[in-house]
Structure 1
Amino acid sequence: MSTTQKIRNVLVLVDFVPAELRENKTWKIVYYVKCPIDNKLKRKQNRVKPLKSITERRKLARKMVLELNKKLERGWNPLLNDNEIRGFVKFSDAARLFLDRTVKEVKNQDKRADTLRSYKSFIKNISDYLEEIKEQDMFVIKFKDELVRDFLDVVYYDRDNSARTRNNYLNFIKTFSDWLIRHKYISQNPTTRIELIPEKTKEREVIPDGTLKEIFKFLKEKKENYYMVCLICYYCLVRRTEITKLKVSDVILKNGVIYVNKNVAKNKKSMPVTIPDVLIPFLVNHLKNAEMGDYLFSDNYLPGRNKLPPKKISDEWVKVRTALNLPKKYQWYSLKDTGITNLLKAGVPPIAVRDQARHHSITQTEAYTPKEILKANVDIKTVKI
């Protein structure tokens, strides 16, 4: 067995074999580094230029050996380009750092808590897949398009998830890969040639009037505090996570508005929303023992010092739906959709509804317009051509 083969067999678990000088006919500095593709040690060599003085040539060689070994100990690998200098970090360690930094961004209110929760879920499922294929200890440099394609196929075909779920994974991997590129773990985004697949048009399931009355009657009698959460969503069109961030001080009853600060709003814009008169008595009762610094909804959905987890709102809605034996198509977001639709049916101008819902455009609001209130254009209807 050759020396090279012995080295490869014995040292397959190391990242490199230190450089050493070999004084043969041609003086060479020889060292071995691990290839990121097959995890095998590859021989590399640097030539030592001839000098008239053997002593000076050896000094030069020792200096080269010293510098090479310093670089190797710092993680340098000549098989990687300058944009992949962290390629030999384990995927799991890179993913952990990514999540740790996202936690910091959430604390600084640069990202939303829901974003962190989604990122954790995506990372966990990718990590579980890597464990299934015995790649849980792989270097991040191996996070390439073939692996990503295989994973997405498992998500969509093997696990029978929707196109939307598969596309959500793809979008996350794009974001995560961009972060890996910025921090020089990889040099190319593995999703560049992977396309989104067509999704079914999202059907907005508006709650019929009779069912809505049944829900509100049940909530008023059985879950009075949670009833208030649902009323804020239905009448003021405030999103779930936004609701959990509202403070008592954001409710300005004398002006009839709730001020949704940019630190609370999903679109990062500060805007007031109108409190309909029908909602005012409920809010007055809800706030009777509250302090200005309290969250609008805390423990048991009453005002308090503790921030209500957004997921608790959705989980409570599932319990309500189960108790009333309602179909799954009536989800938490259906309250907001129904509120928008009913405002339009009541003749409220679309621009006013847009501002109440804080949509980015009137087109987004008009998508909720029910077919029964659409009217023919008078000018076109009476024209004679």
Structure 2
Amino acid sequence: MCAYKSRKTILDAVPRYEASSNVDFVKQSTLPVLREGKEWYIEFYAYDPAICRLRRKRIKINRIKKIKDRRAYARDVISRITTQLARGWNPWIAKDVGNLYEFESVCNSYELYIDKMFNGGYFRKQTYAGYKSRLNSLRNYAKTIDKIHYLYQFDRPFIVRFLDYNFIEKDNGAQTRNNYLSWIATFCGWCVEKNYLQSRPTDGISYIDRRHIRKTREVIPQDIVRKIGQWLEVHDKPFLLACYLLYNCFIRPVEMTRLKVGWINVKEGTITIPDDASKNHETMVVTLPIKVLRYAMEIGTFSAANSDYIFSDKLWPGVNQIDPKIFRDHWAKVRKALNLKKEWQFYSLKDTGISEMLESKMASITVRDQARHSSLAITELYTRHLQKANKDVLDWEGSL
């Protein structure tokens, strides 16, 4: 039978710890003892990571009527708990701490993984940068705002709080919130694959319906598009070529950073975008309007080597690949000079070009192929941008 000790004596002996991510802290515990009195219970202390100190655990045994049987039962329970604690069991975690992982250590391992994937050419620069950025944001949140130390604390409620923090408190858009959820699901899948987690805590967390996500950019009026072209022809000739490719050829900014001079076939009036440079991971051929080809010739694009990037340092052809952010920087100068609305973004030129082609009665299938859309349904989404009344309907005179 275990000797009775006063509760005050035990509490005085319980150490308190500063917050730590050391797994050894989680193994801290006291041996279980039997408390006899008005209430009979087995008592011991174990480290609770949620409060960063030892926390008392009590198991009541009053339900056993006979004193002799109660003490025998207590000896058996104390023996089992002592063995479990020695093996690393923690009552506040409900798993063996011998298999407990520090959150920061797992993040470090994941970072090494994405570094390896990028350096090996498996991740594109934009994908890699996005993963790193979101990982750093999650780490900062877990260290300073909603502190966790162990991977088991990275559960569904924590993830929901993190998503709400980015969506509500940081006032990001619904698409940004969805992007974070998509990345976290990928991160959790990696943790499951590496046996850090048994299942993905993101399961059951819903995305915000894309139909409720309103784009912040708008189609640019034709007169404003002409003013932009006129200003660039005087002040930023190489950026005008980039605007031409986005407006007429619907080549995405990140794809433009990969374009090489030799991919243009002047005789055929086309540019081939290989699968490793295309966002869709498919080799595609895009038509270059004669106007765009002539302008590229005027500014000396074809004087560069075939292996040169069309847009390199200062957006002139060269050997260095640039970051897509440079296009946004040049657009910021245009916006400031012409006092453009913030909703008229660089990428708005793509929306504007597609909408104008559809408005000109060009066949939807032609526009689809030029824009490299996977279906006509995607292309026809751009018809919602058309604000002018349909002339055929305006002139319609029916029987009524």
The match for 1:60 is none
The match for 2:143 is 131
Q: Paired residues, what number? A: 335
> Aligned partners of 1:382, 1:321: CA distance in 2, in Å?
46
Q: Percentage identity across aligned positions?
A: 32
> Aligned partners of 2:139, 2:370: CA distance in 1, in Å?
41
Query: Which digits, 9 at most, give the CA deviation of each residue in 1:194-231, with x for residues without a partner?
Result: 22235333365111111001101111100111111111
Aligned ranges for residues 1-385 of structure 1 at < 5 Å?
A: 9=15, 14=24, 80=95, 87-89=100-102, 91-133=103-145, 135=147, 138-198=149-209, 199-202=212-215, 205-285=218-298, 286-369=300-383, 370=386, 372=388
SS at match of 2:382: coil
> Aligned partners of 2:13, 2:278: CA distance in 1, in Å?
60
Which deviates the most, 365-374 or 319-328?
365-374
Query: Which digits, 9 at most, give the CA deviation of each residue in 1:21-63, with x for residues without a partner?
Result: xxxxxxxxxxx99777677789xxxxxxxxxxxxxxxxxxxxx
> Aligned partners of 2:51, 2:239: CA distance in 1, in Å?
57
Residues 180 and 186, structure 1, Cα contact 8 Å, conserved in 2:
yes
State the shift of 1:10 in Å: 8.9
> Aligned partners of 2:121, 2:98: CA distance in 1, in Å?
31
> Aligned partners of 2:374, 2:243: CA distance in 1, in Å?
23
Query: Which digits, 9 at most, give the CA deviation of each residue in 1:272-293, with x for residues without a partner?
Result: 0000111111122332430011
Partner amino acid, structure 2, of 1:322: K
TM-score (norm 2): 0.73
> Aligned partners of 1:126, 1:110: CA distance in 2, in Å?
23
Do the aligned partners of residues 335 and 10 (structure 1) sit closer, same or farther apart at CA in structure 2, a change above 3 Å counting? closer
Do the aligned partners of residues 282 and 194 (structure 1) sit closer, same or farther apart at CA in structure 2, a change above 3 Å counting? same
> Aligned partners of 1:115, 1:235: CA distance in 2, in Å?
26
Residues 247 and 292, structure 1, Cα contact 8 Å, conserved in 2:
yes
SS at match of 2:303: coil
Structure 2 residue runs without a partner (length 5+):
29-44, 56-82
Residues 345 and 373, structure 1, Cα contact 8 Å, conserved in 2:
no
Residues 16 and 41, structure 1, Cα contact 8 Å, conserved in 2:
no
Do the aligned partners of residues 87 and 260 (structure 1) sit closer, same or farther apart at CA in structure 2, a change above 3 Å counting? farther
> Aligned partners of 1:194, 1:17: CA distance in 2, in Å?
32
State the shift of 1:113 in Å: 1.6
Query: Which digits, 9 at most, give the CA deviation of each residue in 1:89-115, with x for residues without a partner?
Result: 3x2232233233223333444332212
Residues 248 and 291, structure 1, Cα contact 8 Å, conserved in 2:
yes
Do the aligned partners of residues 363 and 302 (structure 1) sit closer, same or farther apart at CA in structure 2, a change above 3 Å counting? same
Partner amino acid, structure 2, of 1:340: I
State the shift of 1:148 in Å: 1.4
CA RMSD of aligned residues (A): 3.6
Partner amino acid, structure 2, of 1:172: W
> Aligned partners of 1:261, 1:231: CA distance in 2, in Å?
20
Residues 216 and 343, structure 2, Cα contact 8 Å, conserved in 1:
no
Residues 26 and 48, structure 2, Cα contact 8 Å, conserved in 1:
no
Query: Which digits, 9 at most, give the CA deviation of each residue in 1:52-82, with x for residues without a partner?
Result: xxxxxxxxxxxxx9xxx9x98xxxxx9647x
Query: Which digits, 9 at most, give the CA deviation of each residue in 1:321-352, with x for residues without a partner?
Result: 11211011101111111111122222221111
SS at match of 1:146: helix
State the shift of 1:158 in Å: 2.4
> Aligned partners of 2:181, 2:110: CA distance in 1, in Å?
17
Do the aligned partners of residues 253 and 41 (structure 1) sit closer, same or farther apart at CA in structure 2, a change above 3 Å counting? farther
Residues 241 and 292, structure 2, Cα contact 8 Å, conserved in 1:
no
SS at match of 1:258: strand
> Aligned partners of 1:303, 1:132: CA distance in 2, in Å?
45
State the shift of 1:4 in Å: 10
SS at match of 1:164: helix
> Aligned partners of 1:209, 1:367: CA distance in 2, in Å?
20
SS at match of 2:267: helix
> Aligned partners of 1:87, 1:16: CA distance in 2, in Å?
9
State the shift of 1:15 in Å: 5.5
Structure 1 residue runs without a partner (length 5+):
19-31, 43-64, 73-77
> Aligned partners of 1:336, 1:111: CA distance in 2, in Å?
26
> Aligned partners of 2:391, 2:185: CA distance in 1, in Å?
44
